[in-house]
């Protein structure tokens, strides 16, 4: 089965980390986020991945020059301009030889050109979703499109998806006001789709799958969903990007080493619930709590980093204090003794 992974967004909520790097190429503990996503798909029998690219596509092709990511072949579909989520699905699926109607692309086409059921994923989601079972359910129901749903406390940041007892989607409301959200079950960003869905996506303009295609299908009763309570996180905010990584080292979802073997942490530093990546240095008496210190960053003596992110190669001066989701961009410097709360360095200008 083929999977289209949407990785073309600007990652604005993770600025400045994503000013030059797509969020799916940011590290998640020990490797780029995209490798976690692809490895999960490979474990569920996906044999070919199409990366739907827009912003900084070369970040992916440079990282996987032989076209192999997490052990499986990846194809790059680079949009000429951002097409939004449905436009991106259409563009990438056609580029991968998926055709509506289950017909061969042409009489000269290879067997690979015969279209089939395919997967679409939001590339910033980490989950243990049982994709195999989801595909089986989709086929058993004879659905044209099946969405995975997960339950959250605050649905207003997501696509909210009320269903009936049989899993038929009754509506699809992208990012409703918290008060008006019709359900706490939200679009988890994994879709099983029949190629006929491509006929529902107009060519030549931006089309949102969440605001246009799915609401129309829900209104006609042709959209199916399955609820799941397994691990799920959208990593697209600093808070979630920190939590997704801590979950992989604290036993919630994994036991990866929190401090990379090539990092240097002074024995007098106090490191709690934090990740220190390759080549980073944490000085004497420094304190880290619920934080990420990225590759080759340095945290000076006596500095305090709480619930914050120090970007690659960035420097936090002696005695400085970063708290409350402060994010320091790549190679930036925070002066000695400076106190930052909820800051982004540099800020968006
Ligand atoms: N190729 C391409 N082109 N990719 C895009 C584009 C585009 O124009 N716009 C966004 N993407 C990619 C992003 O890189 C990301 O991987 C994915 O599409 C989803 O975009 P986000 O910006 O992360 O959306 P969101 O988190 O606000 O909301 C989406 O995800 C939620 C679950 O995590 C929606 O699908 C919601 O309905 C859903 O609940
Ligand atoms: Mg997201």
Mean pLDDT per 10-residue segment, the chain (349 residues) = 96 97 97 98 96 95 96 95 96 92 49 69 98 96 96 96 96 92 94 97 96 97 97 98 98 97 98 98 98 98 98 98 98 98 92
Measured CA distances, 315 to 197, 245, 283, 305, 309 (Å): 49, 21, 11, 12, 11
- pLDDT tens for each residue of 292-308: 999 999 999 999 999 99
Q: Whose CA is nearest to atom 31 of ligand 1?
A: 158
- What are the tokens at 31? 């490797």
**pLDDT digits 0-9 by tens, 36-91:** 999 999 999 999 999 999 999 999 999 999 999 999 999 999 999 999 999 999 99
pLDDT recorded at residue 107: 44
For ligand 1, say whether the CB of 232 is within 6 Å of any of its atoms: no
pLDDT computed for residue 40 by the predictor? 98
- pTM for the model: 0.95
**Phi, psi at residue 225, to the nearest 5°?**
-145, 150
Q: What is the dihedral of CA 288, 289, 290, 295, to 10 degrees?
A: 10
Task: Confirm or reject: Cβ of 159 under 6 Å from ligand 1.
Answer: yes
- Expressed in angstroms and rounded, the spacing between residue 305 Cα and the centre of ligand 2 is 25
Helix, strand, or coil here: 265? strand
206 CA from centroid of ligand 1 (Å): 13
- d(CA 122, ligand 1 centre) in Å: 6
Q: What span, in angstroms and rounded, lies between the C-alpha atoms of 307 and 324?
A: 6
Atom of ligand 1 nearest to the CA of 174: 37
Torsional class of 261: left (φ above 0), alpha (ψ -120 to 50), beta (otherwise): alpha
Ligand number nearest CA of 126 is 1
């Amino acid at each position: 089965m083929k999977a289209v992974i949407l990785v073309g967004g600007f990652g604005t909520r993770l600025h400045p980390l994503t000013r030059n790097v797509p969020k799916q190429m940011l590290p998640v503990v020990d490797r780029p986020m995209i490798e976690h996503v692809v490895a999960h798909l490979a474990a569920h029998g996906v044999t070919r991945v199409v990366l739907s690219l827009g912003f900084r596509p070369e970040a992916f092709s440079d990282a996987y020059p032989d076209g192999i990511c997490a052990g499986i072949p990846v194809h790059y579909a680079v949009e000429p301009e951002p097409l939004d989520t449905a436009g991106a699905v259409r563009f990438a699926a056609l580029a991968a030889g998926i055709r509506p109607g289950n017909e061969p692309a042409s009489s000269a086409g290879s067997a690979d050109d015969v279209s089939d059921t395919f997967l679409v994923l939001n590339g910033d989601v980490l989950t243990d979703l049982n994709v195999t079972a989801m595909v089986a359910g989709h086929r058993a129901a004879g659905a044209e499109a099946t969405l995975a749903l997960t339950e959250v406390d605050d649905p207003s940041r997501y696509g909210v998806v009320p269903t009936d007892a049989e899993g038929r989607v009754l509506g699809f409301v992208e990012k409703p006001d918290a008060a008006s959200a019709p359900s706490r079950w939200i679009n988890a960003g994994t879709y099983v789709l029949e190629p006929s869905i491509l006929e529902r996506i107009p060519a030549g303009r931006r089309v949102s799958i969440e605001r246009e295609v799915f609401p129309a299908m829900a209104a006609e009763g042709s959209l199916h969903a399955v609820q799941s309570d397994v691990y799920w996180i959208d990593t697209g905010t600093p808070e979630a990007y920190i939590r997704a990584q801590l979950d992989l080292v604290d036993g919630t979802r994994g036991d990866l080493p929190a401090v990379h073997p090539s990092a240097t942490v002074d024995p007098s530093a106090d490191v709690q619930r934090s990740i220190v990546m390759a080549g980073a240095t944490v000085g004497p008496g420094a304190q880290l709590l619920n934080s990420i210190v990225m590759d080759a960053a340095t945290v000076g003596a006596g500095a305090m980093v709480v619930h914050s992110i120090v970007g690659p190669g960035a420097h936090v001066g002696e005695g400085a204090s970063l708290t409350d989701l402060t994010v320091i961009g790549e190679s930036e410097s925070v002066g000695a003794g400076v106190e930052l709360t909820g800051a982004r360095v540099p800020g968006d200008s």
